Amino acid sequence: MTISTTIRRGGRRRGRGDAAASSLAQPAWQHVTNPYQPMALFSREELDQIDATSMRILEELGIELMSPRACDVLERAGAEVDRSTQTVRMDRGLVAELVAKAPTEFTLTPRDPGRAVRIGGNSVVTTLVAGPPAVHDRINGRRASNLADYRNFIRLTQSFNAIHMIGNQVAAPIELAANNRHLDCYLANLTLSDRSYHCTSIGRGRALDGIEMMAISRGMTAEEMIGDPAVTTIISVNSPRRFDDAMADGLMAMAEYGQSVCVTPFTLMGAMTPVTLPAALAQQNAEALFGIALVQAVRPGCPVIYGAFTSNVDMKSGAPAFGTPENAKANIASGQLARRYGLPYRATPSNASNAADAQAVWETMMSLWGCVLGGCNLLYHSAGWLEGGLCASYEKLVMDVEMLEMMFAFLEPTKVDEASLGFDAIARVPTGGHFFGDPHTMARYQTAFHAPMLSNWQNHEAWVAAGAEDATTRATGLWQKALAEYEEPAMDPAIREALDAYVARRKEEIGAGEP
Amino acid sequence: MTISTTIRRGGRRRGRGDAAASSLAQPAWQHVTNPYQPMALFSREELDQIDATSMRILEELGIELMSPRACDVLERAGAEVDRSTQTVRMDRGLVAELVAKAPTEFTLTPRDPGRAVRIGGNSVVTTLVAGPPAVHDRINGRRASNLADYRNFIRLTQSFNAIHMIGNQVAAPIELAANNRHLDCYLANLTLSDRSYHCTSIGRGRALDGIEMMAISRGMTAEEMIGDPAVTTIISVNSPRRFDDAMADGLMAMAEYGQSVCVTPFTLMGAMTPVTLPAALAQQNAEALFGIALVQAVRPGCPVIYGAFTSNVDMKSGAPAFGTPENAKANIASGQLARRYGLPYRATPSNASNAADAQAVWETMMSLWGCVLGGCNLLYHSAGWLEGGLCASYEKLVMDVEMLEMMFAFLEPTKVDEASLGFDAIARVPTGGHFFGDPHTMARYQTAFHAPMLSNWQNHEAWVAAGAEDATTRATGLWQKALAEYEEPAMDPAIREALDAYVARRKEEIGAGEP
């Protein structure tokens, strides 16, 4: 019996034990880069046509910019502002001039410089899911977002090396006052993790608090962080063609302090854009470039990110759909557009499933591959997203970490040289034999392949004997283990005191609001 | 409230109803092509190094060919045969000369010419899973493969347009005599479906029966199918470097009748090859080209397929692993090698999960994307594979159909022109408005996006009210519905009679064997 027959028919005897299958053993924190040529969905000429349509949108139709201050900034920069409708029109020369001031890459440095992230070029950075109003896990069920879950999700981020940054309010603590809960979130981000995070940009105050608190944690002032950024924000355009007041003000606050701004039109084809992908991309492109131009008008050279979130609705029901084939295409094409303007690129692996199940995975994988093939730099919402972003899921977070680590392994370059071509090993092993004990194998086997955390490779009998748990059930074991083993990163007590004092002072200034 | 807010926060009200969610409505049967440039994992120089190592394997080490008849064929063609060890060595000139005789593309035409498949170029063809000794569904549990399940899987293949061909014995009817059960399988293939199929090539007789029966169904003789092929086979090399007697004889029988032969080394890195990917590919390449050269030596111009199945084992346990990052890389690089020799390319989307769960999907998606990016022509085993190929799963089959249809939608080219750029529609819709009722939307919405069969896009409340079924559970409903609605394709009674007579005659000739 050959080794191949042994393995195929019954040889999976030494299946990983139960303990190993739920191990948190994971690759070290790493700066991930994408070594492959990005995929081209469109030809150069097709991109020219999309770009030309974007420029017509900005020149002929304009963008409604609901912040008078922001209108002033762009008027001074040379845009034409219709004050009666708050419509801003920019010609393509001005757009190009302003966008060209943006850096192609930048680094965000949080309190632990070892957790700095590089955004742009061929780097790949991930974040925790942002914004869901609900939370779910298999033990406690579905519930409204709250501070206890918020803190747990930050602990899980800290526990898993595949999550590089914290997004905007993973599980907004809605039991707290709406006007100051962002302070509790920033405090959790800074004390329970050492990662960079997202500043809430609904208005100027929330953004500045995020900047100030990050500065305190770094032992710097907010002014000293200009030119040495640490945080980011997402400006979600109200597509079609509208920037609201609060978002524009948040954007300007971030730009004044030289912190990074990602401008992301949320464009579901059929609802916020036409049903056709080229039209959706032309509109997304116009809106994203408009916001980026505004950032550059506030502070030339301020770090920005070209954000894309083009998916589609179900035209039978109007329901939003994520991780569709059309979304995968948009993720690839948006990368072509971002690179056209030399901008770092953000997109999102997403899904519309109501459960952390097989659908959640095929939709996530569809959009994740679109992101990676599109040369995406910032995979926003890449851990924990469920229900089209309306629910943060503990199990899905673990499953996403598994998929991200697989993708990181795929992105490791493969070295071709005499040693890896292994002719001598092939010559040593007889026909029909096996390579298990060969010196070439023995010298490399411990690191030769990616070792997953959650995938179970036991044979069927061993899997049944161990309880026949499916992947979602095993994920429950892993997040529980991660929380049980979690260790808070050390922080200088003086910094901790200063953060607490900042939060107390700001809560007093803001006053007690309604939950 | 803008439309984006409506949709994000509560607007998923018109979620698809239960009936629609379990609809068999699916895209029509189609000839799928891949419009994108295949991905390059390796540079030209790196491929040269891999190829050079393959040639050293064939020149210096040779292949053990356990069929004396096949050794004769290659010796006549110019190979050096060591009869004492049945080792065949070929120099690179001879390999190149023989491989160059293979066609770059070909068509397999089954009894319904409308189900003909083109293999090669940028075509994408799928098959039902082949070979599992076990079967599973959520209603009846796990059981040994048998004829009733075999026939059900063929009915499901016929029901789902995403499955283009039947692989080798999806669920071998082990209750029947081992020496003649292939006849019952071929009869099921031909009467319950109109697809092309795989001929079992364990020895000459089984292969010839498959060819003869397909010829009867087409109203032709086996000789008339030379030059007009209808069926294929997989020759699984016993890696490292061994072709067994039965497989070599099956290969030659297929080649004598001009039917297509796919040569696939089954090479799990760390077991059947060294642990390094370049070495595994060099060995795979040597073995595949050797088999293809043998086919061409038997019949120059015979259709062949370059088969790749390089994955890895878990080095902690020795367990085979599928759908790993290393497998995805191998699927991409193997396409580069197949195209180097101008050969059609076969690979496999696979997984090692014990359940039709989230793991089954992330592993399948990892390898499926590898196949597609690698420019794979024949996605063998692409529907129903579970447990590393040891189990055919009814639910996984439905989930695979869902993923394949998503991938086919991704492979549809995106037209960029004035209509799809939609400037006028964008101009018509006010800022913050929506495109639902716009004429540009109304003219296109019915076909604008891929409509999935299994994905559920209801909002959470509607999904709970409908029973909160996860994707795997919904898949059970879909295969049951497919079997309930199945219609046997019409067949000329005279042909049916001839097929029955052939099976009866051959069973008598072969004699009754043991199950």
Q: What is the DSSP letter of A408?
A: H
Give the Å distances, CA to CA, from A287 to A43, A56, B323, B428.
22, 12, 39, 16
Over residues B222-240, the pLDDT tens digits come to: 999 999 999 999 999 999 9
pLDDT at site A23 = 56
Mutate to test the interface with B, among A12, A46, A283, A382 (most CBs of B within 10 A): A12
Average pLDDT, chain A: 94
> Mutual orientation of helices B358-373 and B394-410 as an angle, nearest 10°?
40
* Contact criterion met (CB below 8 Å) for B243 and B236: no
Over residues B253-295, the pLDDT tens digits come to: 999 999 999 999 999 999 999 999 999 999 999 999 999 999 9
Q: Using an 8 Å CB-CB cutoff, list chain A residues near B371.
A: none
Confidence of residue A2 (pLDDT cuts 50, 70, 90): very low
C-alpha B317/C-alpha B302 separation (Å) is 41
Over residues B135-177, the pLDDT tens digits come to: 999 999 999 999 999 999 999 999 999 999 999 999 999 999 9
C-alpha A431/C-alpha A79 separation (Å) is 74
Burial of A192 per CB tally in 10 Å (0-12, 13-18, 19+): buried
pLDDT at site B315 = 87
Nearest C-alpha neighbor of B451 from the set B162, B26, B28, B164: B26
At residue A266, φ and ψ (nearest 5 deg) are: -95, 100
Of B434, B445, B463, nearest to A315 by CB-CB distance is: B445
Min Cα distance B244 → chain A (Å) is: 10
C-alpha B87/C-alpha B241 separation (Å) is 9
At residue A200, φ and ψ (nearest 5 deg) are: -70, 125
At residue B447, φ and ψ (nearest 5 deg) are: -120, 10
Min Cα distance A488 → chain B (Å) is: 31
Mean pLDDT of the region B170-190: 96
Q: Using an 8 Å CB-CB cutoff, list chain A residues near B41.
A: 36, 414
Over residues A175-197, the pLDDT tens digits come to: 999 999 999 999 999 999 999 99
pLDDT at site A315 = 87
With H, G, I as helix, E, B as strand and everything else as coil, classify residue B24: coil
Confidence of residue B8 (pLDDT cuts 50, 70, 90): very low
Confidence of residue A10 (pLDDT cuts 50, 70, 90): very low
CB contact under 8 A, B275 and A444: yes
Task: State which residue of chain A sits closest to B356, comparing Cα positions.
Answer: A358
Over residues A146-182, the pLDDT tens digits come to: 999 999 999 999 999 999 999 999 999 999 999 999 9
Nearest C-alpha neighbor of B109 from the set B249, B192, B220: B220
Number of helices (H), then strands (E), in chain A: 19, 21
CB contact under 8 A, A414 and B355: no
Q: Using an 8 Å CB-CB cutoff, list chain A residues near B387.
A: 459-460
Nearest C-alpha neighbor of B333 from the set B76, B26, B43: B43
CB contact under 8 A, A268 and B456: no
- Does residue B17 or residue B182 have the better pLDDT? B182
CB contact under 8 A, B432 and A238: yes
What is the secondary structure of B244-277 as a DSSP string? -HHHHHHHHHHHHTT-EEEEEEEEEETTTB-SSH
C-alpha A246/C-alpha A269 separation (Å) is 25
CB contact under 8 A, B53 and A423: yes
Mean pLDDT of the region A76-102: 98
Min Cα distance B248 → chain A (Å) is: 15
pLDDT at site B118 = 98
Confidence of residue A513 (pLDDT cuts 50, 70, 90): confident
pLDDT at site A35 = 98
Mean pLDDT of the region B47-69: 98
Strands B304-307 and B260-269 turn out to be: parallel
Min Cα distance B439 → chain A (Å) is: 10
Mean pLDDT of the region A444-467: 96
Of B266, B410, B451, nearest to A329 by CB-CB distance is: B410
Over residues A12-56, the pLDDT tens digits come to: 333 333 334 445 889 999 999 999 999 999 999 999 999 999 999
Residue type, B261: V
What is the percentage of chain B residues whose pLDDT exceeds 90?
93
Over residues B475-494, the pLDDT tens digits come to: 999 999 999 999 999 999 99
* Beta bridge pairs of residue A379: A126, A347
Min Cα distance A285 → chain B (Å) is: 12
* Residue B9: pLDDT over 90: no
Over residues A440-451, the pLDDT tens digits come to: 999 999 999 999
Min Cα distance B32 → chain A (Å) is: 15
Q: Using an 8 Å CB-CB cutoff, list chain A residues near B325.
A: 406-407, 409-410, 412, 450
Nearest C-alpha neighbor of A308 from the set A369, A244, A363, A263: A263
Over residues B320-373, the pLDDT tens digits come to: 999 999 999 999 999 999 999 999 999 999 999 999 999 999 999 999 999 999
CB pairs under 8 A between A and B: 459
Confidence of residue B20 (pLDDT cuts 50, 70, 90): very low
Mutate to test the interface with B, among A44, A313, A418, A474 (most CBs of B within 10 A): A313
Task: State which residue of chain B sits closest to A282, comparing Cα positions.
Answer: B421
* Residue B424: pLDDT over 70: yes
Nearest C-alpha neighbor of B126 from the set B398, B404, B342, B392: B404
Over residues A300-331, the pLDDT tens digits come to: 999 999 999 999 999 889 999 999 999 999 99
C-alpha B3/C-alpha B327 separation (Å) is 43
Residue bearing tokens 């043998």: B294
CB contact under 8 A, A239 and B275: no
Q: Using an 8 Å CB-CB cutoff, list chain B residues near A272.
A: 3-4, 434-435
* Contact criterion met (CB below 8 Å) for A496 and A207: no
* Residue B41: pLDDT over 90: yes
Confidence of residue B515 (pLDDT cuts 50, 70, 90): confident
* Residue A430: pLDDT over 90: yes
* Residue A203: pLDDT over 70: yes
CB contact under 8 A, B457 and A320: yes
pLDDT at site A13 = 31
Min Cα distance A390 → chain B (Å) is: 8
CB contact under 8 A, B134 and A460: yes
Q: Using an 8 Å CB-CB cutoff, list chain A residues near B290.
A: none
Structure tokens at B294: 């043998």
* Residue A405: pLDDT over 80: yes
* Contact criterion met (CB below 8 Å) for B386 and B360: yes
CB burial of B463-475 (b: ≥16 within 10 Å; e: otherwise) equals beebeebbbbebb
What is the percentage of chain A residues whose pLDDT exceeds 70?
96
Min Cα distance A262 → chain B (Å) is: 18
Helix (H) or strand (E) holding A275: none
CA A368 to chain centre: 10
Residue type, A478: L
Q: Using an 8 Å CB-CB cutoff, list chain B residues near A239.
A: 4
* Residue B80: pLDDT over 70: yes
ipTM of the prediction: 0.95
Structure tokens at A335: 């990368």
Residue bearing tokens 């996605």: B379
CB contact under 8 A, A425 and B64: no
pLDDT at site B23 = 57
Q: What is the largest CA-CA distance in chain A?
A: 84
Task: State which residue of chain A sits closest to B357, comparing Cα positions.
Answer: A358
